[in-house]
Each structure stands twice: as structure tokens, then as C-alpha cells.
A = this chain, B = another copy of it.
């Protein structure tokens, strides 16, 4: 599974209502086009698929206010919100797939501080388990160097997993030390969304509240 659905759901959710181009710009702003597959086609495809599956509700063809073709706007449904949190939790515990993890970190503050830490700890457990199974599998009969240069591949993966675990521990520490504002806490929640030119100021403050779960 790629990170695109999580990214798109998260972007739309932050706006309350958004069209494809807005999502695209946000993801670019976050640098997601560098570390994930956020080509235009993928974004529009994800929007359409998720609309078809009821995760998003599509408002057809609002005429563009700034040139270009008419645009379709989307809103996250209840079902979509559930999926969002499910994907988010999955992303934060995933061992492989740096892009998933990155997307998860981007939205981590939508969870409570405790849950964030719990999930990150689970991630470390996952890495450690994987590490054991891999090193067990690859240290068979005839000495360590019977693998030749192929051994380098395994070392690379194990090493990078170790570093990932170490980095995660650091993040947990920072979070436990009080860094950042999480869901349900006082202070400005970090938005990190590109401002829309204020065409309809009175519509800009719909509270799209926290998770029910």
C-alpha cells in the first residue's frame, strides 16, 4: 500500500473541503512529491476512487475562480475519517516503506500524545522482530562469508532498520518531553496548509472536529 490515500485524505481533511489542485499544492508544500508518488494523475485518481468508495463526497464542478477548467471539490465523509485514522495508525507502525512513515509523521498530531507514543513503540517492536527473523534466516550453515557480496544487501537492510528504530526512539523521547501540540491539547494545532485566497470568508470556519473513536 502506498502513502497516497493517507496523504490525500489528510490534505482534504485539513481544508474541510478541497479540490485536486489544492491537494496537489499542499503535498508539494510538504515536500511529499519528493518522497512519495504524488504525481497529478495519482492524486486525481485517488480522489475519484475514494469518492467512489464513499470515503469522500464529491461536489461536482464548482466553476474555477482563478482561471482554468471547472473543479470538483471533495469533503471527507465519516467513513473516510475512519479510514484516515486507520491508515494513519498503520503508517506509523509500518516497518518498511519510509514514505508511509513520513506521511504518518506528518499527521501524527491528529492522534493523542499517548497513542502516538504507543504506536511508535509498536513500530520499534516490529522492527526488532523483523531483524531477528532476517538474521536468523541468513546465518545458516557454512560460516558468515559464504554469502559473498549478497551479504552486503542483508547488512544494509538490517543496518537501516536499526537506524530507523534508533531514530524512532529519539522521536518518542521528544514527544514524551512535550514537543508539539497533539489532538485534545491546548495551543494552536499546527496546520501547515496553503492559505486559500479568501473568496468565501464566512465558509472558512466549519469545525471539522476530532475523531469520535
Contact = CB atoms under 8 A, between A and B. Distances in A.
A74 to B, nearest CB: 23
A180 B105 contact: no
Nearest to A152: B105
Interface string A126-169: 00000000100110000000001110111011011001100100
A46 interface: no
Contacts of A160: 98, 160, 163-164, 167
Given A167-B156, A167-B159, A149 B35 contact: no
A59 B62 CA distance: 56
Interface residues of A, number: 33
B31 A156 contact: no
Given A98-B160, A156-B105, A150 B35 contact: no
A63 interface: no
A92 to B, nearest CB: 12
9 contacts: A34-B157, A35-B96, A98-B156, A98-B157, A102-B156, A106-B149, A148-B192, A159-B163, A160-B164
